[in-house]
Amino acid sequence: MAKILMKGNEALGEAAIRAGGIHYFAYPITPQSEVGEYLCKRLPEVGGTFVQAESEVAVGNMLFGAASSGKRVFTSSSSPGISLMQEAISYIAGAHLPAVFINVVRGGPGLGGILPAQSDYFQATKGGGHGDYRTLVLAPSTVQEAVDLTMLAFHLAQKYRNPAMILADGMIGQMMEAVEFPDKYVEDELPPTDEWAITGCKGRERRIIKSLFLDPVALDKNSFELEKKYQQMREKEVRYESYNIEADNQVLLVSYGTMARICQTVIDELKKKGISVGLLRPITLFPFPAEELCREAGKKNIKAVMSIEMSTGQMVEDVERFVRGQKPVTHYGRTGGIVPSPEEVSEEIMKVLESKKNRG
């Protein structure tokens, strides 16, 4: 398959179509409106659905309705829009339905800015909506990875009958990189949708798709059924990448998305100066690569663990939790649309190493 130069937003849309996600409901919001603009032309070509809804609140609920059909449905939005969809995501999870949400993160809170940030880690991985549910979160760092993970997201959403989110950021959305579209994404066999989908009750008992369980025993049961799925995700779906993990690493960086690419540059620069730093890049933010982090952080050569994220400190809480007190953990980040330069990050790493030296 030939490589094409594509804008991230458009590549995300095309990736969804290649994965069979041809039913799209969305609302424009910077920096991802190009996804909708691209899809409104492409979807009629493949017999898909395109609806520009009246608000993200409506989008989330249209997804709920469309997801109950058993077909592959998705949307794209950015931070404030994803906030409006939280109610629907909670309902979709509670009703055991698959749907894919593409979040091209921008600066917040509030109306925030339109430049990239990574300040939605909590919202994506810790719920966002109400109730005991989780969203499967995948964080790409290149446009090619965004394509691959989008196709994977549809697969996993259907496998687990749960919402899945692509946590990209404004940079990935706006930049152009060479991408290749795999012909099909096949990992393992998927359960058929016609066992639960709403198709009209011809020839069978009627089906009700709901998340209401007034009986406490029934609601407890539903929530623990959801938890069982999340436990399976924790066991089977963790994905991560390591960069320069060597026996002489002094510091372990934990970073995802485009920030991780900057960290790679930092690592290369520091290597030239003789300082060895390693990077653990989570690809799935939920389920987080907890065991891997714990193991890497526990190695004797590691003096400190740093979480580098374009936020005031969100992923660092999970990093602290999974380092389990073995090493000191700090966070470095800028937000508002500021992308830390490699020099800034290097300086921070040197500061951390200095302070460790002084304390001996």
Q: Which residues of this chain interact with another protein, rule CB under 8 A?
A: 23, 25, 49, 51, 53-55, 57-69, 71, 73, 87-88, 91, 95, 198-203, 206-212
Q: Which is nearer to another protein, 11 or 63 (CB)?
A: 63
Q: What is the sign of the dihedral through the CA atoms of 64, 91, 313 and 285?
A: negative
The distance of closest approach from Cβ of residue 76 to another protein in the complex, given in angstroms and rounded to an integer, is 16
The distance of closest approach from Cβ of residue 4 to another protein in the complex, given in angstroms and rounded to an integer, is 29
Q: Which is nearer to another protein, 59 or 138 (CB)?
A: 59
Q: Which is nearer to another protein, 62 or 115 (CB)?
A: 62
Beta bridge partner(s), residue 24: 50, 74
Q: How close are the terminal C-alpha atoms of the chain, in Å?
A: 55
Distance of alpha carbon 219 from alpha carbon 205, whole angstroms = 23
Q: Which is nearer to another protein, 58 or 175 (CB)?
A: 58
The distance of closest approach from Cβ of residue 218 to another protein in the complex, given in angstroms and rounded to an integer, is 14
The distance of closest approach from Cβ of residue 286 to another protein in the complex, given in angstroms and rounded to an integer, is 23
Residue 119, both tokens: 């300040």
Beta bridge partner(s), residue 5: 178
Distance of alpha carbon 329 from alpha carbon 356, whole angstroms = 12
Q: What is the CA radius of gyration of the chain?
A: 21
Distance of alpha carbon 252 from alpha carbon 243, whole angstroms = 10
The distance of closest approach from Cβ of residue 203 to another protein in the complex, given in angstroms and rounded to an integer, is 8
Which H/E stretch holds residue 348?
A: helix 342-359
The distance of closest approach from Cβ of residue 77 to another protein in the complex, given in angstroms and rounded to an integer, is 15
Distance of alpha carbon 360 from alpha carbon 352, whole angstroms = 12
Distance of alpha carbon 314 from alpha carbon 295, whole angstroms = 21
